[in-house]
């Protein structure tokens, strides 16, 4: 329809041949984006003037966090370790479970379309569930504390790593796999020696990247009672103890930077 409204431009080549060049869709896309943005602003009551007039309050709170309350660090240490433990345990268990789930969701490995669809739907459902919501549900099942946070991070890691892994498996070169099957290997053996070497570096790299992201996610899970430094942040903001909150933020920044650097180093070695 777009080509009917805006007919392609005719170009005359040096050899006398006429070719048609389709009009750019960029103006149409920009128009749609502008319309959707205007509709979204109306529905959300977003106000640019309010944003600029009140943004100063944000920096006032930041200013009250400086200098941080250095004496608060001993109280912070145990909660920070809980956050790291939640992230590590949830990431490791989630990444391990993601491997068989991704295999069962791979259409080029599993011949049953029913099984493939079921596991792809499971991964899709897990990805649509926000981490805070899954943590809140886990607190009702496992009670308050780090266990709920571990379960929430596990589900997120499973859905994220599982999705990327089954896509990687479906896009591998199946020549070696089929050759190994033709010489008498079972599908499991052929998968072990033909597919895993192709997807293993990406799988480990994705798992490390997911772990460093989970450290940040775990920091806010305390808002729903899942343990970690989130509980202390919530408590500090509630009591307007901004210097202590500043100490928590500083500790998180240093921790995340260290983990990111270490993770980036190993990911570069794997890719």
- Provide the pLDDT for residue 3: 63
Alpha-carbon distance of 120 to 98, in angstroms, equals 12
What is the tens place of the pLDDT at every residue in 103-153?
Answer: 999 988 888 889 999 999 999 998 888 888 888 888 888 877 788 888 889
The CB density around residue 200, as the number of other CB atoms within 10 Å, is 13
The CB density around residue 159, as the number of other CB atoms within 10 Å, is 24
- 2, 31 contact by CB (below 8 A): no
- Measured N-to-C along each axis, helices 146-170 and 73-104 cross at an angle, to the nearest 10 degrees, of 40
pTM of this prediction exceeds 0.75: yes
Backbone angle region of 227, left / alpha / beta, with phi > 0 → left and psi within -120 to 50 → alpha: left
- Provide the pLDDT for residue 2: 60
DSSP strands (E only) in 7-161: 9-12, 18-21
Q: Report in angstroms the alpha-carbon separations of 71 from 115, 136, 182, 239.
A: 55, 31, 67, 17
What is the tens place of the pLDDT at every residue in 10-63?
Answer: 766 677 676 666 767 777 788 889 999 888 888 887 877 887 888 888 888 888
Q: Which residues contact 184 (CB under 8 A, 6 or more apart)?
A: none
pLDDT band at 271 (very low <50, low <70, confident <90, very high): low
What is the tens place of the pLDDT at every residue in 218-229?
Answer: 777 777 777 778
Rounded percentage of the chain residues whose pLDDT exceeds 70? 92
């Amino acid at each position: 329809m777009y080509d009917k409204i805006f007919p392609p431009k005719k170009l005359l080549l040096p050899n006398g041949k006429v070719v048609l060049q389709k009009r750019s869709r960029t103006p149409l896309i920009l128009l749609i984006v502008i319309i959707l943005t205007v509709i979204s602003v109306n529905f959300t009551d977003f106000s640019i003037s309010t944003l600029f007039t009140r943004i100063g309050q944000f920096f006032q709170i930041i200013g009250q966090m400086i200098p941080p309350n250095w004496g608060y660090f001993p109280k912070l240490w145990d909660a920070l370790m809980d956050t790291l433990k939640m992230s590590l345990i949830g990431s490791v268990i989630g990444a391990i479970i993601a491997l068989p789930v991704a295999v069962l969701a791979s259409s080029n490995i599993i011949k049953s379309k029913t099984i493939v669809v079921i596991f792809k739907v499971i991964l899709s459902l897990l990805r649509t569930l926000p981490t805070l919501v899954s943590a809140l549900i886990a607190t009702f099942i496992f009670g308050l504390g780090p266990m709920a946070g571990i379960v929430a991070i596990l589900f997120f890691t499973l859905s994220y790593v599982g999705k990327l892994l089954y896509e990687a498996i479906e896009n591998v070169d199946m020549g070696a796999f089929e050759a190994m099957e033709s010489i008498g290997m079972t599908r499991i053996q052929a998968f072990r020696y033909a597919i895993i070497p192709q997807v293993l570096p990406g799988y480990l790299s994705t798992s490390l990247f997911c772990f460093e992201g989970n450290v940040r996610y775990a920091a806010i899970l305390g808002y729903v009672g899942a343990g970690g430094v989130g509980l202390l942040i919530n408590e500090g903001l509630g009591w307007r103890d901004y210097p202590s909150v500043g100490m928590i933020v500083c500790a998180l920044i240093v921790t995340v930077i260290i983990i990111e650097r270490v993770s980036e180093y190993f990911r570069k070695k794997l890719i």
